[in-house]
Chain A
């Protein structure tokens, strides 16, 4: 009786999910058919020097004019993206907007990302339910996968990044593909996603740690210590127990949770090298004619690491490097990039039982501190955040953060307009919103990590209480 009801509810929510997905697609198409693309493609928040499709078109034009696509300082993306998207920027169908083919591609990428988020969410939830049951904690979980997918699809940031002709939907797709592949233990898929994501935007390279943890330990679970405690408690009262086999099974299961399985990790490394060789070969084929792989690395990764372009964006580095004295430049470049790497290890140690959440934190940190951030990056981590709806239920300041996001996304264009277009404001106005945005993201990251750790504490309390109940 109960299961039937549940199933019905599930079906209902599924139907609702698909209508919402369709609605989001239609909404995007409507926006695409607006004249001039609503000028979204020229917004600094949407298209950074790395993700702008206009620069990609310039690179493609240079390539067609038998020059290196990296000849000027225009294009800084991957040559593979150039050969896929380049022809689409030139082709236009009669009576349709100029970049309709690219836009359609980005919409498809968004839908695929949403579906992968949903599948990942389902997988995570199942695994989590199982592990909670193993601990004897009964918890009613929300279908966070569906919600996360819908949040990702309907997030204004995602919509703007998709309609505004930036390549970030594709980068996001590969990052999500990595997580999905690692969650479902499809090692080649995970390796492919990781290699492509790293190739496209460098920063996802740090996702290798969550992916290894995911493959080694399985998806997110409560701290492993709890399973051990449980197991030991059970073995401790062996004398008074009746059924041996059940205990053995329990111990085995808890051990299974704890033992790091090396095989998929080794496989992952194997596949990652294979895919990276493949990608490099493809790149070298496509750039061979007019430039070299070395130039490609210089123009893509070098451009990301030495913040050369100082046009305003949502981050804080552009203004910093426009103002900082030249002799300190290298020092601060190192400091800011090391700042991303610095937190990798402590977070990995503290959150090693929750690799997916760890991946979320890494993505959030890198999209906050990266050299050319855009709203597409924010859209990705906001979508992933919703996957942990149950765990982060009692996060602090969530309303404040929400209001902050709304406020910043309204104020930032206003300040940009005042500074660039009207000339009545100055750079500090816009930089202030960027600083506020960075602070908001910091609060979000810190609070979510804190909430997750508190959740673990709560689980421990619950499981200890359970154990005491069992004992008594």
Chain B
């Protein structure tokens, strides 16, 4: 009987304790749950050139609060400390390998416009500090990020590497600094710290898909970290931060059926599944995530093509059975289907399938597969003008940069929107940073519209140039161009001289050349936004929210590789010695010529002095000169030596005095 009693007492105690503490625990946890949120999402999209785009989107939010002190429930502490210390308003850091193919993978949707980044590292940050402290904050920030992400972001510290765009890069931002490292090699040591910022890392949830070999085998991958802090609360509170971590990968699914395909089925898109492209499956959600969804997006053009294939009139696309008949099959039944609501493109709109990962577990992992039945050919919607940039000229002395804007396709309705939206002009913003060793002559700016040379004033509405200073700052060029709507191609050329650097300034592989960072070209008249109605307003997914934002279309040009001449790196000693020899030759020979008279006169005197008395006269003269005595004694050398030594002493004394004066003066 003693045992049950004891156990009941113990139970009672437990209940009591739990009753006392439960509200506190639940209260605390409820606050944290309420305030700090984490979403994980993955968007998949088949691309026209037999590839698959995977777009991971993780979002953590920390609302403004002071109750937590420095502690966070979900939000990465490193990031919040960063924001607090450097007073960052907004920041974006991206690591990219490969180049986004604007022609094939599209240039007019939110993903290509917001997430396609130039190769290497791109970092920009807006600070909330006084104007004179911005540079110092930037320098500290680069060092911190470089430590955080194991990358050489600290090279952005030097003033030759970053710039302060005024209006073309991001409108209406004050203390912005922008830097790019086009040659940064991105690898797994950058991804691991990035994953560490996620609450579940890559152990659970969607991020478990991130198999390193398959990501780094991809054609393009870009990991991005974007944070916005807003100080909406009162002073002294921690700012609210929204941290977006995005990884965009373009993968080539290996089609296992290659052996079996018939020659006629060459155009059949490769079928893929999550396990075939990533080599892993999703085994349930990350328990800390508020929502965990996978989306499959079919583009407008693809949907239109599928509809055509179906030959059944306009059906409700969202209805079930539509996709099973139209040419592809999904291995998992979608939880929801959205159709894009679009004003300008009424005919076709993109379709989104939503899959919730909540209900899957280790025993029953989530593995979305897509199997194509019929060949489909479609193309993504490109940016209004396709921008590319190239170098002209040969040799290592000078050259020219050309930016070519080519109208993508004329049958498209983009030109119609151009005329309707903003008069009859078509606006293009160009933002270009050029390192100082590429010395651009801005007065040589030339413009050709549709092959015809145009006066600069006709096309350029606004231009801001801050020319490069040697070893101090890079050259920045911001331009607003206004083209007529029927523009087919436009070329912009700038001539430059290649600089010559000190041997210490060359990188280890100097003959590889130097990179000119990408230019950013945006089209402010065109906005990217995809709106999917029917999505519940309460739990709006962050990806879809992002899609809804009205952002101008932005595309980056290629990175240019400029070969620079190199001096001979093995020569410093030779050059120093040879040059100094030449200078010594000059100095010595000229001085010799100038003082030759003395010898000659002496010789003359000697010859004049006759032969018999020459020696005695000379001796007397010498002694008289040395001792100022008309005496002729054989002891002259000793005497003279004493005299010389006294003179020498005087000299030494003078030098010493000089040295003391020098020392005194410099103290």
Contacts and interface: CB of A to CB of B under 8 A. Distances in A.
Interface of A: 42, 54, 57-58, 60-62, 65, 67, 71-74, 308-312, 316, 318-326, 335-336, 339, 342-343, 346-347, 350, 368-369, 419-421, 423, 426-428, 431, 435, 438-439, 442, 445-446, 449-450, 453, 457
A308 B594 contact: no
A311 B500 contact: yes
Interface string B494-538: 000101111110000000000000000000000000000000000
A420 B597 contact: no
B590 A322 contact: no
Contacts of A58: 441-443, 467
B436 to A, nearest CB: 7
A312 B572 contact: no
A302 B101 CA distance: 48
A308 B582 contact: no
B367 to A, nearest CB: 55
Interface of B: 394-398, 436, 439, 441-443, 463, 465-471, 475, 497, 499-504, 565-568, 571-572, 575-576, 578-579, 582-583, 585-587, 589-591, 593-594, 596-597, 600
A61 B443 contact: yes
B587 A342 contact: yes
Contacts of A419: 565
A420 B498 CA distance: 11
A435 B565 contact: no
A449 B442 contact: no
B465 A67 contact: yes
Given A343-B587, A453-B597, 5 more contacts: A57-B441, A58-B467, A309-B470, A321-B502, A342-B587
Contacts of A439: 582, 585
Given A57-B443, A320-B579, A73 B468 contact: yes
Nearest to A343: B590
A420 B471 CA distance: 22
Contacts of A420: 395-397, 565
Contacts of B593: 446, 449-450, 453
A449 B587 CA distance: 13
Closest 4 CB pairs of A and B: A72-B467, A61-B443, A73-B470, A421-B395
Contacts of A343: 587, 590-591
Contact of A346 (B441, B466, B582, B594): B594
Given A57-B443, A442-B586, A449-B594, A427 B572 contact: no
B576 A320 contact: yes
B443 A446 contact: no
Contact of A65 (B436, B465, B499): B465
Nearest to B600: A457
Contacts of B585: 439, 442
20 contacts: A54-B441, A67-B465, A72-B439, A72-B469, A72-B475, A74-B467, A319-B579, A323-B567, A339-B586, A339-B587, A343-B587, A343-B591, A427-B565, A427-B566, A428-B568, A428-B571, A439-B582, A442-B590, A446-B589, A446-B590
A339 B583 contact: yes
Nearest to B467: A72
Contacts of A73: 436, 439, 467-470
Contact of A311 (B467, B499, B596): B499
A368 to B, nearest CB: 8
A439 B579 CA distance: 10
Contacts of A346: 591, 594
Contacts of A322: 500-503, 567
Given A339-B587, A350-B594, A442 B582 contact: yes
Nearest to A419: B565
Contacts of A449: 590, 593-594
Contacts, number: 141
A212 B310 CA distance: 100
Contacts of B441: 54, 57-58, 74
Contacts of A427: 565-568, 571
B505 to A, nearest CB: 9
A67 B442 CA distance: 12
A73 B589 CA distance: 38
Nearest to A447: B593
A228 B586 CA distance: 34
Given A62-B442, A310-B501, A326-B504, A319 B567 contact: yes
A471 B441 CA distance: 75
A290 to B, nearest CB: 13
Contact of A318 (B500, B503, B583, B594): B500
A350 B595 CA distance: 9
Contacts of B504: 326
B644 to A, nearest CB: 25
B562 to A, nearest CB: 14
A67 B476 CA distance: 14
Nearest to B585: A442
Contacts of A457: 600
Contacts of A54: 441
Contacts of B587: 339, 342-343
A323 B572 contact: yes
Given A73-B470, A310-B500, A431 B575 contact: yes
Nearest to B396: A420
A276 B567 CA distance: 41
A158 to B, nearest CB: 24
Given A62-B442, A73-B469, A420-B397, A319 B594 contact: no
Contacts of B586: 339, 368-369, 438, 442, 445-446
B596 A453 contact: yes
A428 B571 CA distance: 9
Contacts of B575: 319-320, 323-324, 431
Nearest to A451: B593
Contacts of B469: 71-73
Which of B394, B439, B465, B467 has the most chain A CB atoms inside 10 A of its CB?
B467
Nearest to B394: A421
Nearest to B584: A339
A74 B439 contact: yes
Contacts of A445: 586, 590
A457 B604 CA distance: 12
A12 B586 CA distance: 42
Which of B466, B503, B590 has the most chain A CB atoms inside 10 A of its CB?
B590
Nearest to A328: B576
A438 B582 CA distance: 8
A325 B470 contact: no
B473 to A, nearest CB: 9
A323 B600 contact: no
Contacts of A431: 575
B502 A310 contact: yes
Contacts of A67: 465, 467
Contacts of B589: 442, 446
B467 A423 contact: no
B467 A316 contact: no
Contacts of B582: 316, 435, 438-439, 442
A468 B499 CA distance: 67
Contacts of B590: 343, 347, 442, 445-446, 449
Contacts of A312: 500
B579 A326 contact: no
Contacts of B600: 457
A312 B583 CA distance: 19
Contacts of A324: 572, 575-576
Contact of A62 (B467, B471, B566, B571): B467
A71 B466 contact: yes
Nearest to A62: B467
Contact of B467 (A42, A71, A323, A369): A71
Nearest to A311: B500
A446 B395 CA distance: 38
Nearest to B589: A446
A91 B441 CA distance: 18
A369 B580 CA distance: 12
